[in-house]
A and B are shown apart, each in its own frame.
Chain A
Amino acid sequence: MAGASSVPAAEDEQGTASSGAATGGIPGPGRPADPAADAPTVLVGDSLPGGDRLLVENPALVGDPALVGDPLSGGERDPAAGQRRMLAGRLARGLGELLITAGIVVALFLAYQLWVTDLFAARTQDRLHHQLDQVWQRPPAPRAPAGDRVRPAPLPPVDLGDGLAILRVPRFGRDYFPVVVEGVAAADLRRGPGHIPGTAMPGQLGNFVVSGHRTTYGKPFSRLDELKVGDPLVVEVRDRYYTYRVTGSEVVAPNRVDVTYPVPKRPGVAPTKDLITLTTCHPKFSASHRLIVYGELVDTTAKSAGVPPALRGE
């Protein structure tokens, strides 16, 4: 008989069909007592609750014309109605699966932002530290004469995305030493805090401006709001440590480019001090404002003289 022969075939295809369904097509004394054995009846247009569920869970059984036409499974019902119900069930299931998938993708994106980008950044920072070590071990390129000022000449230019200096902030702990890269394009900031090109280099007269991520990619500037006036910010370059002290901080609108001027908020004024300005987004996970921390150079230490006092006091 067609039903009996087709059901085991369906079990093969499903691999997981229940034994009740497998015996469903075989008429026997125990059959009416077995709820699963009634499944084919439900499939062809019965209004029992759960009929749709069975219908979509066993599409192999449903789709078998031999089963639908089986007189034992209610062949007197309208087959077109069963088809419509089957289609509706499939659509509902497909929509549900899409929504669940969307939810999972959003959750994955959250995990990506909060943790996976940190892994990327940690690897990149390791590489940058390595490269910086190598560059700093090579003899320095000849520098332009320092002019009449008795101060170190600016650092040689660095390619976009390459390491420029190492930032150390004692308040953030001994294990905080991100490599500052040149450039603030998205690709540069993924590598580390970025120096805005065109602003002063560390130790150069003017404003050394560095922007960094607050919540992703290693979140180097996550704790910028914890800095207090007087906190040291140490910038390490090839042969020197520049020690800045925090002089203040503020939250500004994102369009306040003037905080990056050589003398912040004073356009056209010639700088007389070496300043540092750190910028990041504020509040966390938002683009509505920027958190700005200002600092001023207080000490320049040659590496041959050992680490600067600000780092020794940890």
Chain B
Amino acid sequence: MYAWVYRHLPGPPRLRLTLAVVAVLAVVALLMFVVFPAVETILPNGRVTLGD
């Protein structure tokens, strides 16, 4: 999977490496800012109030 992605990145190795790092950072940002905030609402340690 990762090898496939790397092989399909354009340019010389240096550019590919840069693109790969940028892609990893983009995925991490997506997780941190969109996916995790949505997922954590169903987790127990966010429940601090009383009710059913």
Chain A interface (Cβ within 8 Å of chain B)?
13, 15, 59-60, 93-94, 97-98, 105, 108-109, 112-113, 116-117, 184, 186, 189, 194, 196, 211-216, 221, 252, 254-257, 259-260, 279-281, 284-288, 290
Q: A interface, by DSSP: helix, strand, loop or mixed?
A: mixed
**Are the C-beta atoms of A254 and B47 separated by less than 8 Å?**
yes
Bound: A51/B44 CA distance, A: 47
Residues in B whose Cβ lies below 8 Å from that of A112 = 31-32, 36, 40
Closest to B50 in A: A257
- Contact code string B7-29 (vs A, CB < 8 Å = 1, else 0): 10000010010000000000010
Residues in B whose Cβ lies below 8 Å from that of A94 = 1
Bound: A285/B43 CA distance, A: 9
Residues in B whose Cβ lies below 8 Å from that of A108 = 28, 31-32, 36
Chain B interface (Cβ within 8 Å of chain A)?
1-3, 7, 13, 16, 28, 31-32, 36, 39-41, 43-52
**Are the C-beta atoms of A211 and B49 separated by less than 8 Å?**
yes
**Are the C-beta atoms of B46 and A216 separated by less than 8 Å?**
yes
User: What are some 8 contacts across the A-B interface (CB < 8 A)?
Assistant: A97-B2, A113-B40, A116-B32, A214-B45, A216-B40, A254-B50, A287-B45, A290-B49
Bound: A66/B29 CA distance, A: 43
Residues in B whose Cβ lies below 8 Å from that of A59 = 3
**Are the C-beta atoms of A284 and B50 separated by less than 8 Å?**
no
**Are the C-beta atoms of A97 and B1 separated by less than 8 Å?**
yes
Residues in A whose Cβ lies below 8 Å from that of B31 = 105, 108-109, 112
Known: A112-B32, A285-B45. 17 other contacts (CB 8 A): A15-B16, A97-B1, A112-B40, A113-B40, A184-B48, A211-B49, A213-B48, A216-B45, A216-B46, A252-B50, A254-B47, A254-B52, A255-B51, A280-B48, A281-B44, A284-B45, A286-B44
**Are the C-beta atoms of A279 and B44 separated by less than 8 Å?**
no
**Are the C-beta atoms of B32 and A189 separated by less than 8 Å?**
no
**Are the C-beta atoms of B48 and A211 separated by less than 8 Å?**
yes
**Are the C-beta atoms of A215 and B1 separated by less than 8 Å?**
no
Picked from B13, B36, B40, B50, the residue with its CB within 8 Å of the CB of A279 is B50
Residues in A whose Cβ lies below 8 Å from that of B1 = 93-94, 97-98
Q: Smallest Cβ distance from B30 to chain A, in angstroms?
A: 11
Residues in B whose Cβ lies below 8 Å from that of A260 = 50
Q: Smallest Cβ distance from A198 to chain B, in angstroms?
A: 12
Bound: A112/B28 CA distance, A: 10
**Nearest 4 Cβ contacts at the A-B interface:** A287-B44, A211-B49, A287-B47, A97-B1
